[in-house]
Amino acid sequence: MSGRLVICALAALLVAACGTTPKDAVDGKKGQISKTPTRKPTAVLKKGGGFYKDDGPADDIPDGLDDIPDAQPKWEPLHKPATRPYVVLGREYVPNTVVKSYRTRGIASWYGKKFHGQKTSIGEPYDMFAMTAAHPTLALPSYVRVTSVQSGKAVVVRVTDRGPFHADRVIDLSYTAAYKLGLINGGSGQVDVEAIIPGEPTTTTYAQVTPPPRPASAEVDEIERLVRRMALEERPVQTAAMAGMGSDSVPPKGVYLQLGAFASADNADTLRNHLVRELDWLSEPMRVYAGGGIHRLQLGPYASRADADRIAEKIQAMLGSRPTVVIR
């Protein structure tokens, strides 16, 4: 969710492939979020949901979360805008363009009411009561099995969003998925994540903390082109989410913090929506600027480099990565 900056932002979120569900939990129709829940939550959180600021479960949660079925893996057309390389907080990401084997171990977090109903990276609304997840590079949509290292419990979720963009996390889970794994109270926990290829048995051998494979040369070239084009002159892009924000036709001179860069305007906008909620203490405007085919998410302007550095340090403390300083 978080994604969650993403493209913090990179926080997204939606309905997974759930069938019949408990009363008022998930209606089973893609793109429709849950109805009003019916029961007060019993979990006592150490922090917010997945440690996202001011996030957490809804004021009420549905009965029968244990009965919500896992997502059912099936072949689906990939969302093409979500396959393009992007940069968030100085990190380069090359998403998978096909569904393929993947397995890793790391920290899972979850995102809840703060992102409930917001658009995910594939355009569907996030439903915190569906069996879904966010991942920085897996093909969208696709399916993974997530197993809690501590409890041994496992769930199957549909990956529909980008994130998390925190340096120490490998996946963001919906509230229900985290609940079923026993991760709600702590906000996060160590998990094994394994991609599911519909119609094929799970045969990959687990290797702890397997480093991500190096991208193919064509993908490297695309990232390099993306980074080079980021130096070109920029102009603002007015998106639906930015309407009414008073974006200028030409960005004023000053010092900015760059949170992310995308080939897709929709992906930049999705990250902006995520980060606006996660970094809601910011007073500076967060806008998307375009130039040379690249859409950049930036904060500012700041009066000085020192002012920008102070905010960059605070963002780094929260997200684990530091935004890039840009001077116009």
Closest Cα partner for 93 from 5, 185, 196? 5
β pairing state of 255-262 and 169-173? unpaired
> For the chain, how many structural domains are there in total?
1
Closest Cα partner for 15 from 158, 197, 171? 158
State the Rg of the chain over Cα. 19
Say whether pTM exceeds 0.95. no
Q: Name every residue whose Cβ is closer than 8 Å to that of residue 324 and which is 6 or more positions away in sequence.
A: 89, 90, 257, 258
| Cis previous bond, 22, omega within 30 | no
pLDDT at 225: 52
Cβ neighbour number for residue 251 with a 10 Å cutoff: 21
Q: Which two tokens stand for residue 1?
A: 């969710």
Q: What type of residue sits at position 16?
A: A
Q: Which two tokens stand for residue 179?
A: 């609940």
**Considering the domain boundaries, does residue 317 fall inside one?**
yes
The upper half-sphere exposure of residue 119, i.e. CA atoms within 13 Å in the direction of its Cβ, equals 14
Q: Name every residue whose Cβ is closer than 8 Å to that of residue 216 and which is 6 or more positions away in sequence.
A: none
Q: Residue 175: helix, strand or coil by DSSP?
A: helix
Q: Per-residue pLDDT tens, the chain, 328 aa: give them.
A: 444 433 433 333 333 333 333 434 433 345 555 544 444 344 444 444 444 555 555 556 778 899 999 999 999 999 998 999 999 988 899 999 999 999 999 999 998 888 888 899 999 999 999 999 999 999 999 999 999 999 999 999 999 999 998 878 999 999 999 999 999 988 899 999 999 999 865 433 333 333 344 444 444 455 455 545 444 444 444 443 333 333 334 578 899 999 999 988 888 888 888 788 778 889 889 999 988 888 899 999 999 999 999 999 999 988 888 999 999 8
Integer Cα distance of 102 and 100 in angstroms: 6
Tokens 């991500």 correspond to: 212
Q: What are the two backbone dihedrals, phi and then psi, of residue 143, each rounded to the nearest 5 degrees?
A: -130, 145
Integer Cα distance of 11 and 108 in angstroms: 14
**Considering the domain boundaries, does residue 305 fall inside one?**
yes
Q: What type of residue sits at position 122?
A: I
**Considering the domain boundaries, does residue 182 fall inside one?**
no
**Considering the domain boundaries, does residue 130 fall inside one?**
no
**Rounded to 5 degrees, what angle do the CA atoms 191, 7, 123 make?**
90
What's the domain range around 237?
Answer: 217-327
Q: Residue 163: helix, strand or coil by DSSP?
A: coil
**Considering the domain boundaries, does residue 136 fall inside one?**
no
CATH of the domain at 313: 3.30.70.1070
**Considering the domain boundaries, does residue 196 fall inside one?**
no
Closest Cα partner for 315 from 327, 303, 297? 297
**Considering the domain boundaries, does residue 259 fall inside one?**
yes
CB 104, CB 135: distance < 8 Å: no
**Considering the domain boundaries, does residue 206 fall inside one?**
no
